[in-house]
Structure 1
Amino acid sequence: MAKIAIVGSCITRDLWPLREAAPPGLLYVSRTSLASLLSQPVDGYAPQSGPPPDLTRYQHMATQADLLKTGLTQLLAHRPTHLIFDFIDERFDLLRLPTGALITHSWELESGGYLDDPALAGATAIPRLSGACERLWRESVVQLAGLLSCTVLRNATIILHSARWAKRQIAPGGTTLPLQGDPHIWDGRPADLAKHNQMLARYESHFLQTIPQAQVIAAQPEHQLADPAHRWGLSPFHYVPGYYDDILAALDKQGAKIAA
């Protein structure tokens, strides 16, 4: 069986029944940006032994990995046969610390109270849709390309799970209608769906120009629909079942299959 690593979001994770632990052969690195993943660790941050009251153990582990920059170490130790990227978690702003370290301003980071840690004092926001954020992200892709060529990751099949925020949702009877409600990064942080999709197109283009060996997989257009019945609720990136079936079939063709 394949050994799969995901650097991405729930759109890839939800292909397998993940909850608090991954099935054997699967590593999931989430709630991070490539710019944050490849940044220096947060100086002076002391890991907490357990999650804050409002977060699960996995959410806590993912947030701490972004602060301590252990995601790359995990990837190298996992020695994946297939390394899948999706960029849906690239919707969060970045924060820059006075030391120069970058972190991802995820819902978990804010809700878990991590921003109150003295090690994160003085953080300044870099809005996701800003030119500064895009430059940092593009630079990180160049850095990633170097790592893919000179580490054990060079042996992995690189896969880009191409995705966009859904503009329409499924309705009763199999009909579709425009996505209901304004999308949010999280409650209280509205997002511009069109601008995020334009950004994703630019990100994917740069990624493929820089890492041309990447294999691209995508769902059929008719399945790129939001699903109100999705287990995580209605969202532009919580899709209908056919979406996940398409992606699993595409991964199977790449030899990326593991036991659930």
Structure 2
Amino acid sequence: MRSVLIHGSCVTRDAFALPGESRFWIADYYARSSLASAFADHGLEGVDTSTITSAFQRRMVERDLDKVFRRAMPAARADMIVVDLVDERFGILVDDRAGVGTPSAELLRTRGISPDLHRVAPGSVDFLTAWEAGRRRLMAEATAAGVADRIIVHQARWAERSADGARFDHQSSAEANHLLEYMYGRLRLDLAPHQFVRVPAHLVVGDPDHRWGRSPVHYVEEYYRTFLDLLDRATAAPPR
């Protein structure tokens, strides 16, 4: 079995939880964290995470605020570092000290979140500037640590429809996918073609019975199985 370090969202993590999957195991998982936040100099001050009852959700928020992934990645012993950008949809929060956090639902429910924080919307000029700084730092630090060749980008996209024929909001999906394609394109500046995994468009379909509920980023099982097959091929053979 090959080990996987994930910085991304449930679109990647859920694939490894499929019944019968035995090719990979998750070494660690960093969720709800924009690259703009993960590679910022410091997080937001005064946030009290004790109100988050779920240990996983509390750890997720604390890791984002404490920039743990930035410190953990250079020492990662995982066979691959899988990155997806679906949680860039949250944008970022910035305080007057240039501290940065990702405004997940869990963070916004904590005590100590000041109403004076500046919320930066995904896709805005300020967001893209901060995200670009995070991307550059990700690649610089991964290269310095000798792990850049282990990065695999899961080019996930929002679905436009569900398997039962229901349509998701077209404008929301189109805007999200436009931003995602731009950001994946920026990652291509530093990574080789074989480091990108993209599931065919006809499988980007929502599952109305998904365990996390109906959503344009909760896919049918065939999507996840195809992603794992593509990941297996991308990492099992040497690049050409």
Under TM normalisation by the shorter chain, which class is it? Answer: 0.7 to 0.9
CA contact (8 A) 2:163 2:205 kept: yes
Q: Which of 198, 220, 233 is the equivalent residue of 2:200?
A: 220
CA contact (8 A) 1:158 1:214 kept: no
Does 2:114 match 1:134? no
Write out aligned runs for 1:83-122 (5 A).
83-111=81-109, 113-114=110-111, 116=112, 122=116
Alpha carbons of structure 1 residues 216 and 137: separation in structure 2 relative to 1, 3 Å: same
Tell me, what secondary structure is at the counterpart of 1:210?
Answer: coil
Counterpart residue type for residue 166 of structure 1? A
Tell me, what secondary structure is at the counterpart of 2:30?
Answer: strand
Q: Which residue of 2 aligns with 1:169?
A: 162
Q: Deviations over 1:73-114 (max 9, x none)?
A: 233333222111111011002111111111111111012x24
Gaps of 5+ in 2: 19-23
Q: CA deviation at 1:132?
A: 1.1
Does 2:167 match 1:178? yes
Task: Give 1 or 2: higher helix fraction.
Answer: 2
Tell me, what secondary structure is at the counterpart of 1:163?
Answer: coil
- What is the distance in 2 between the residues matched to 1:29 and 1:164? 19
Q: Which residue of 1 aligns with 2:137?
A: 143
Tell me, what secondary structure is at the counterpart of 2:222?
Answer: helix
Alpha carbons of structure 1 residues 124 and 170: separation in structure 2 relative to 1, 3 Å: same
Q: Which residue of 2 aligns with 1:10?
A: 10
Q: Which residue of 2 aligns with 1:75?
A: 73
Q: Which residue of 2 aligns with 1:187?
A: none
Q: Which residue of 1 aligns with 2:21?
A: none
Alpha carbons of structure 1 residues 204 and 14: separation in structure 2 relative to 1, 3 Å: same
Counterpart residue type for residue 187 of structure 2? F
- What is the distance in 1 between the residues matched to 2:8 and 2:75? 18
C-alpha RMSD of the superposition:
2.4
Write out aligned runs for 1:238-253 (5 A).
238-253=218-233
CA contact (8 A) 1:79 1:153 kept: no
Q: CA deviation at 1:152?
A: 4.3
Gaps of 5+ in 1: 184-190
Q: CA deviation at 1:193?
A: 2.1
Of all paired residues, the percent bearing the same amino acid is 28
Alpha carbons of structure 1 residues 158 and 213: separation in structure 2 relative to 1, 3 Å: farther
Counterpart residue type for residue 9 of structure 2? S
Give the TM-score taking structure 1 as reference length: 0.80
4+ long deviations beyond 4 Å? 43-48
Alpha carbons of structure 1 residues 45 and 222: separation in structure 2 relative to 1, 3 Å: same
Q: CA deviation at 1:206?
A: 0.7
CA contact (8 A) 1:8 1:87 kept: yes
Q: Deviations over 1:105-125 (max 9, x none)?
A: 1111012x24x25xx574211
Q: CA deviation at 1:44?
A: 4.8
Q: CA deviation at 1:17?
A: 2.7
Write out aligned runs for 1:228-239 (5 A).
228-239=208-219
Counterpart residue type for residue 178 of structure 1? R
Alpha carbons of structure 1 residues 229 and 130: separation in structure 2 relative to 1, 3 Å: same
- What is the distance in 2 between the residues matched to 1:140 and 1:248? 27
Alpha carbons of structure 1 residues 51 and 75: separation in structure 2 relative to 1, 3 Å: farther
Counterpart residue type for residue 10 of structure 1? C
CA contact (8 A) 1:86 1:161 kept: yes
